[in-house]
């Protein structure tokens, strides 16, 4: 049987190994990118995380609902959360610099993707330094609002308000690029 974009989900739910190979070939690259952005400092763990993500897809394919999300978003979500959990486990096991030091780190060390790095840096250039650090922490490094609130000593409500205002500033500042109502 030929596996293609019309039947791979059904076959994957039937536990067809060739369908899983199709998923690995088709979505492995984007999943690896998602994981590498989070685990950039731990490349040996990134490969293990990618394998763990494929296993989760295999085990939990029955929970995929095409009405809620596209398959690519679903697999990227699995990859992202697997990588974030791996990063949290690594951080618990190894002594590292404080979160404040991570925030002040050179932005180019955050990822090897210089194009995206330049885009993100330009995108948040309209924000003040405190909001830039907040956006880097949440939208680049993947920390949750709760983790960020704990690290900064601010309430979650304040963090949510700063994010909301920051998004509005970004949209207004970059309105020619995004158009109306984007983000």
Return the CATH number of the domain spanning residue range 8-93.
1.10.1740.10
Same fold, 8-93 and 99-178: no
d(CA 120, CA 87): 22
Burial class of residue 16 in the structure, from the number of CB atoms within 10 Å of its CB (0-12 exposed, 13-18 middle, 19+ buried):
middle
d(CA 143, CA 151): 10
Instruction: For the chain, give every domain's residue range.
Output: 8-93, 99-178
Residues 129-145 have a mean pLDDT of 85
Pure H helices in 15-42: 17-38
pLDDT in tens, 14-30: 999 999 999 999 999 99
d(CA 12, CA 116): 33
Q: Tell me, what's the pLDDT at 16? A: 92
pLDDT in tens, 95-135: 544 444 544 444 444 444 566 677 777 778 888 989 888 88
92 pLDDT band (50/70/90 cuts)?
Answer: confident
Question: Phi, psi (5° rounding) for residue 118?
Answer: -65, -40
Q: Tell me, what's the pLDDT at 115? A: 62
Domain 99-178 belongs to what topology?
Arc Repressor Mutant, subunit A (1.10.10)
What is the Cα gyration radius of the chain? 19
| This prediction's pTM | 0.52
């Amino acid at each position: 049987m030929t596996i293609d974009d019309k039947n791979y989900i059904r076959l994957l739910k039937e536990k067809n190994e060739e369908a899983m190979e199709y998923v690995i070939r088709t979505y492995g690259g984007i999943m690896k990118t998602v994981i590498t952005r989070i685990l950039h400092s731990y490349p040996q763990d990134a490969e293990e995380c990618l394998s763990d993500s494929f296993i989760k897809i295999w085990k939990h394919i029955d929970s995929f609902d095409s009405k809620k999300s596209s398959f690519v978003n679903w697999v990227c979500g699995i990859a992202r959360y697997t990588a974030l959990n791996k990063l949290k486990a690594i951080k618990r096991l190894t002594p590292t610099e404080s979160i404040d030091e991570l925030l002040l780190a050179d932005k180019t060390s955050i990822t090897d993707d210089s194009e995206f790095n330049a885009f993100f840096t330009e995108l948040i250039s309209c924000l003040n330094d405190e909001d830039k650090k907040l956006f880097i922490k949440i939208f680049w490094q993947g920390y949750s609002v709760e983790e960020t609130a704990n690290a900064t000593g601010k309430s979650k409500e304040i963090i949510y308000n700063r994010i909301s205002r920051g998004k509005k500033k970004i949209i207004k500042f970059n309105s020619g690029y995004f158009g109306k109502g984007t983000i």
